[in-house]
Amino acid sequence: MRQDSHVSLDGRGRSYCKSGHGDISHVCCIFSTPRTHLLSRATTLRGQGQKHYWLVRQVDVASFGVRGVDGDFLPFGTEAIIPFSELLAHYSPEVAVFEERLLTAVKEHDFRLVGGRRGAGPRRSILRVDEANVRGLFGIALKYIKARKLSRARVLIRELLRFTTEYAGKDQFLFNGFGIRLRKARYYEGAVLCYRRALAFTQVDDHLYYNLARAYYEQGQWWDCMNALVSCFELNPELPVARDLVVLIMALADSVRLRTKHGKPPVPDGVARRAEILGEAVFVHDETAQETARELCLRKEKEKEEDLWLPGRDAVGL
């Protein structure tokens, strides 16, 4: 049995935010607005098509500093302070532009921004990619999900996962934690993306494969769910939550009523057969699973009897 005990099922393996307040902390990124949305303090702005680009940095838990970027994609001008509500309503994160354009320009021009001012002395510039910044931007994605702005959340999550810059903390723990939070927010599409990104760092973690299977189960993606479960069982056939999920899939395959209750589509025959094979391994290791299976069989027979109706049933003593 091989497993990475640091990747958890519930995200407790590592804290979500090392500093800051709540989900949003240390955000510094390029954001865009439509050209019709202007700050009174801005003069010359960098734009493309119908967009204006801005450098946005977090000032405190509910305030953000905004300034324009010039023709070289470097920040300039006086910083205006806006509330978080305005940032969510009118500004869209442009993670790829931040990484590919602004950070490239910063390196070429040896430009630093320290605490909102152009750099002087040895202090580190805030214009960088690090774990705190990535977590802060992920917190904004969670806010989009809560506000049902799912298209904006989808774009932001995909761009965060595509960061090519290496930074401390860019590992399976980070992306597994993101996946757990997205699953709990019922945004299963994003959870799947994060778990799969985490698997780019390790292929020997049973918990991570179970988390992926659970997300696919929530989506009703039976084949993907089963493939992830098989990988989980190959690493650890004794993981209790994985066993429970296999038994549940077996029950769902046999019961329309149970599928209706859980809002799940029919289970393909091939998936049901693979679940039965995994179920045999479950029964070998867990006597309680055998009792659960017997209860499910009895319930299935009872449901069939309740659904049976024939004319004159009472008259013949049925």
Q: What is the mean pLDDT of each run of 10 residues along the chain (318 residues)?
A: 51 44 72 70 50 92 92 89 94 95 92 63 71 96 96 96 95 97 97 98 96 97 97 93 94 94 96 92 59 55 46 32
Nearest 10 degrees: Cα torsion 150, 155, 161, 163:
-150
Q: Is residue 235 a contact partner of residue 205, using CB atoms and an 8 Å limit?
A: yes
According to DSSP, residue 25 is labeled -
- Spell out the residues 6+ positions from residue 238 whose beta carbon is closer than 8 angstroms to its own: 1, 285
Q: Is residue 259 a contact partner of residue 266, using CB atoms and an 8 Å limit?
A: yes
Q: What is the pLDDT of residue 117?
A: 54
| Residue ranges of the chain that CATH labels 1.25.40 | 205-306
Helices (H), 162-221: 172-184, 188-198, 206-219
Residue 206: both structure tokens together: 């049973």
Closest CA to 220 of 183, 252, 257, 264: 264
**Residue 111 to residue 254: CA distance in whole angstroms:** 64
Residue 167: both structure tokens together: 């930074």
Q: What is the pLDDT of residue 83?
A: 96
Instruction: Give me the sign of the Cα torsion angle 205, 206, 209, 210.
Output: negative
What mean pLDDT, rounded, does the chain reach? Answer: 82
Residue 5: both structure tokens together: 């005990």
205-306 sits in which CATH class?
A: mainly alpha
